[in-house]
Structure 1
Amino acid sequence: MELKLKAAAGTLESSDIYIIIEPNSANEIKIDLQSDVMAQFGESIKKVILDTLKELGVTSGTVTATDKGAIDPVIKSRVQTAALRSAQIKKFQW
């Protein structure tokens, strides 16, 4: 999946995560994470973000994530939504 523009999903409310995803010229995925629970779950959150992008076929992009204690399914759904918005995909076959 090719990212085409900057897109976002989520909120800054408690138990949510705000994801901004955009294309980049590097052939890699860059993740900038800020989290209230960074010490305990920072690496786990990054892994969920990276695994979700790989499942979607995204190989290049920049993700800015602001976490407020989201659980893994919420993180995954926010990343999926932002990636599909960025790729401008209106209908996705789950």
Structure 2
Amino acid sequence: MKIVKRALAGTMESSDIQIVVEAGEGIEIELKSSVEKQFGNQIRKVIRETLEKLGVEDVKVIAIDKGALDCTVQARVAAAAYRGAEIKENYNWEVIK
């Protein structure tokens, strides 16, 4: 999957995460989180694994976390990736399980 435009998913509400994707080189993750010391490595791992499962190779991700669970992180990354790749139908949600 190729990211062709900047896209966003998620909110800044408690227990959510805002994900912004844009074209980049490799997988670059910029994370801001109130729980980064405790869970930063896990959040980055979930973001990276979700992108890899979707086949996204060249992307810059800006993630602003407000205590989201892994399943929320996966859903937001997938939604942002599909929007950034301009895929508007035939979503493969099974890939993020």
TM-score range, shorter chain: over 0.9
Counterpart pick for 1:32 among 10, 30, 33? 30
What is aligned with 2:16?
Answer: 16
Alignment-mate amino acid for residue 87 of structure 2 = I
Counterpart pick for 2:43 among 22, 30, 45? 45
Among the aligned pairs, what percent are the same residue? Answer: 49
What is aligned with 2:5?
Answer: 5
Please list every run of 5 or more consecutive structure 2 residues that lacks an aligned counterpart in the other structure: none
* Alpha-carbon distance in structure 1 between the residues aligned to 2:92 and 2:74: 16
- Matched length: 92
Q: TM-score, length-normalised on structure 1?
A: 0.96
Shift of 1:11: 0.2
* Alpha-carbon distance in structure 1 between the residues aligned to 2:78 and 2:48: 11
Shift of 1:93: 3.3
Q: Aligned to 2:63, what secondary structure does the other structure show?
A: strand
Runs of at least 4 residues of structure 1 off by over 2 A? none
* Alpha-carbon distance in structure 2 between the residues aligned to 1:93 and 1:75: 16
1:89 to 2:87 alignment: yes
Cα-to-partner distance string for 1:6-46 (whole Å, 9 max, x where unaligned) = 0000000000000000002x2x1000000010000000000
What is aligned with 2:59?
Answer: 61
Q: CA RMSD in A?
A: 0.7
